[in-house]
């Protein structure tokens, strides 16, 4: 079995004013090569102006088994949304 070249996650900012967005992964021995590979792989058609690379092993994900306990409790908190509150039309936009 040959040695494994580490996996990286790539985030590209399409243009200034927007966030970096996850666009894929690649393999590289270190961060310098990962950035170059990201440039050569994910920005060949003018897709971006800035790149982040993050070692995949540094990403910690929430547990899908806890999806319900994590996210369901927020569903019924309708008072967090502006439409929950009645404001008379005469008041105008608020």
Partner 1 sequence: MYSQGLIGADGATEETEEFLAAFQARIDREEKIEPNDPMPEGYRKTLVRQIGQHAHSEIVGMLPEGNWITRAPSLRRKAALLAKVQDEGGHGLYLYSAAETLGVTREQMTEELLSGKAKYSSIFNYPTPTWADMGTIGWLVDGAAIMNQIPLCRCSYGPYARAMIRVCKEESFHQRQGYELLISLCNGTKEQKEMAQDSINRWWWPSLMMFGPHDAESSHSEQSMKWKIKRFSNDELRQKFIDATIPQAEYLGLTVPDPDLKWNPEKNNGKGGYDHGEINWDEFWQVVKGHGQMNRDRIKARKKAWNDGEWVRDAALAHAEKRAARKTQQAAE
Partner 2 sequence: MSQALFNALLELGDDHLILGHRVSEWCGHAPLLEEDLAMPNMALDNIGASRNIYTYAGEVEGKGRDEDQLAYLRLDREYKNCLLVERPNEDFAHTMLKQLYFAAFMEPYWQAALSSTDETIRGIAGKAVKEMAYHIRHAGEWVIRLGDGTDESAKRMQAAVEEMTPYVEELFTMSADAKACAEKGILPDREALRAQWSQTISNIFDQALLDLPEVKFPQLGGRTGHHGEEMGFLLAQLQYVQRAYPGMSW
Q: Which of residues 50-89 bind partner 2 (CB under 8 A)?
A: none
In this chain, which stretch among 11-19, 25-33, 64-72, 83-91 interacts with partner 2, using CB under 8 A?
25-33
* Residue 72 binds partner 1, judged by CB under 8 A: no
In this chain, which stretch among 13-21, 63-71, 76-84, 85-93 interacts with partner 1, using CB under 8 A?
63-71
Comparing CA positions, the residue from 23, 82, 80 lying closest to residue 53 is 23
Comparing CA positions, the residue from 33, 35, 29, 38 lying closest to residue 7 is 29
Cα(first)–Cα(last) distance of the chain, in Å? 64
In the numeric block, the tokens 């088994």 are attached to 65
**CB distance 42 to 28 below 8 Å:** no
* Residue 3 binds partner 2, judged by CB under 8 A: no
Sites of contact with partner 2 (CB under 8 A): 5, 26-29, 32-33, 36-37, 40-41, 44
């Amino acid at each position: 079995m040959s040695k494994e070249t580490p996996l990286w996650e790539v985030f590209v900012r399409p243009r200034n004013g927007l966030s970096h967005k996850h666009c894929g992964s690649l393999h590289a021995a270190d961060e310098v090569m990962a950035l170059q590979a990201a440039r050569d792989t994910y920005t060949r058609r003018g897709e971006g102006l800035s790149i982040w690379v993050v070692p995949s092993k540094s990403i910690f994900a929430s547990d899908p088994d806890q999806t319900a306990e994590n996210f369901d409790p927020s569903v019924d908190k309708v008072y967090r949304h502006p439409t929950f509150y009645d404001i008379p039309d005469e008041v105008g936009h608020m």
